[in-house]
Structures are given as structure tokens and as C-alpha cells.
Amino acid sequence: MQGFGTLLFMWGCLDWIMSGSGTDVYYDWFGIYLPDAIYNYSHWIAMGMGSMIFAAGSQNK
């Protein structure tokens, strides 16, 4: 689980960096339309979920 959490956190970081350069990683790369309500927070959501999954995986050991 820690590996998946790390990958999800890194995806959020990539989303944040690419959005700063004007690239929408969800729509431009995969054709996924995000609703306006979560569009500006998608990187924070991914990083937060990745952190929680990583923490849950480290507690199981």
C-alpha cells in the first residue's frame, strides 16, 4: 500500500507542476473531464489521498 500511496502522491505533484505550466494532465493526456468544483484542487486531493494511503500502509507493518 505504501507504494501505491507514493505513486498517487507523486501524481498529485506532477499534476501541480504541469498545471503551473498550463497543461491539464487529466484532459490533455487522458481525455478525462474534471468538474469545475474539484478542478483547482485535484492535485491536493491526489496528494492527500496518497499521504493517507501511505500512512495506512505504514501502520500495518
Concatenating the DSSP letter of every residue in the chain gives -HHHHHHHHHHHHHHHHHHHTT--IIIIIH-PPPPHHHHTTHHHHHHHHHHHHHHHHHH--
Q: Which residues contact 37 (CB under 8 A, 6 or more apart)?
A: none
Among the listed residues 3, 13, 17, the one whose alpha carbon sits nearest the alpha carbon of residue 53: 3
Q: How many CB atoms lie within 10 A of CB 42?
A: 20
**pLDDT 10s digit of each residue in the chain, 61 long?**
889 999 999 999 999 999 999 999 999 999 999 999 999 999 999 999 999 999 998 886 6
